[in-house]
């Protein structure tokens, strides 16, 4: 059975869920999620002979949330994972990330190949650094309503999401029934990110009322500020990662995504998926699960678990 505890690392207190014994596997969740997002992976990976650890990431859930917006860069997040490996008494680990956790995993592998000996990313392809600041690039292309832009003003998205946390979770995790999975990434003036979506739509089969209740209870306590601050460092991350322009990740790697995930169906994502071998010369598998959406490890746990375990043992 998984157990939980809080451990200090990198000046913060991390809430972690863990199970099993053996080589260390770190699971990094995305937004707006928690260590709970890995509930289907933790027992399966532990049973396969690994010590699996899923933290609530910096600013999320029951982990510390620094007040400074600038304390949420990729460097802070990778530093957290390096410190967690040490705090857990290990020198090396395999790192797996989904959504925002994927850039953390990819950059951890890029910055510290001595520690992170294998890397898997779910939903978000490996880094390919564009020519300019991402938010600036959006503006130059005439885009002013992308959700990254909406998330920039401290307090604005927080107020929208915290008004009714249960409804927020149902809409964001449960989906909106849109024909175009990327459509919700654009925020209509005055409508906010949730954009008039119906919180009473039936939940998809993979998400239960108990799951929504868990996410809701935790987010009612923590609020959304910490996780949103990750988005407020998008341009800063671009600036900080300049030394790794064009760098490759040479460790064994794995990529998993759903064919209906808006992250990989958009113009930028589709190109990154097509060209990821340039960044990942040692890519062992590129698994696109037909008909699956963004919350891939919750939606299709059996296939994700099988691919992760084969990769871990390979």
Give the pair of three-digit tokens for residue 172: 């964001």
How many whole angstroms separate alpha carbon 157 and alpha carbon 154? 7
Ordered DSSP codes for 171-200: HHHH----SSTTGGGB--TTTTTTTT--TT
- Concerning whether 180 is annotated as a catalytic residue, the answer is no
How many whole angstroms separate alpha carbon 226 and alpha carbon 142? 29
- Concerning whether 99 is annotated as a catalytic residue, the answer is yes
Give the pair of three-digit tokens for residue 14: 């991390």
Q: Check 29, 98, 184, 294 and give the catalytic one.
A: 294
Give the pair of three-digit tokens for residue 274: 């097509």
What backbone phi and psi angles, to 5 degrees, belong to 190? 80, -5
Give the pair of three-digit tokens for residue 55: 């933290």
Strands (DSSP E) contained in 69-206 are 93-98, 116-122
Q: Check 56, 99, 211, 261 and give the catalytic one.
A: 99
Catalytic residue annotation: 99, 294
């Amino acid at each position: 059975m998984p157990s939980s505890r809080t451990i200090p690392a990198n000046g913060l207190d991390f809430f972690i869920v863990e199970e099993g014994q053996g080589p260390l596997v770190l699971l990094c969740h995305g937004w707006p999620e928690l260590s709970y997002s890995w509930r289907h992976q933790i027992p399966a990976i532990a049973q396969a002979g690994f010590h699996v650890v899923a933290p609530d990431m910096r600013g999320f859930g029951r982990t510390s949330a620094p007040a400074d917006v600038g304390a949420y860069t990729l460097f802070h997040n990778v530093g957290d994972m390096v410190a967690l490996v040490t705090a857990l008494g290990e020198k090396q680990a395999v790192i797996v990330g989904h959504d925002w956790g994927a850039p953390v995993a990819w950059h951890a592998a890029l910055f510290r190949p001595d520690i992170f000996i294998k890397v898997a990313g779910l939903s978000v392809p490996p880094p390919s650094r564009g020519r300019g600041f991402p938010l600036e690039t959006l503006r130059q292309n005439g885009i002013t309503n992308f959700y990254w832009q909406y998330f920039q003003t401290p307090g604005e998205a927080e107020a929208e999401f915290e008004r009714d946390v249960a409804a927020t979770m149902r809409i964001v995790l449960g989906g909106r029934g849109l024909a175009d999975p990327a459509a919700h990434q654009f925020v209509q003036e005055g409508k906010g990110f949730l954009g008039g979506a119906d919180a009473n739509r039936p939940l998809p089969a993979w998400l239960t009322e108990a799951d929504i209740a868990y996410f809701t209870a935790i987010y009612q306590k923590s609020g959304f500020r910490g996780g949103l601050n990750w988005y407020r460092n998008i341009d800063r991350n671009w600036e900080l990662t300049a030394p790794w322009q064009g760098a490759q990740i040479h460790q064994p790697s794995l990529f998993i995504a759903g064919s209906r995930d808006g992250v990989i169906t958009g113009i930028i994502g589709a190109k990154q998926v097509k060209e990821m071998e340039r960044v990942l010369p040692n890519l062992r598998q590129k698994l696109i699960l037909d008909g699956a959406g963004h919350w891939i490890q919750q939606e299709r746990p059996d296939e994700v678990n099988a691919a992760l375990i084969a990769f871990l043992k390979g």
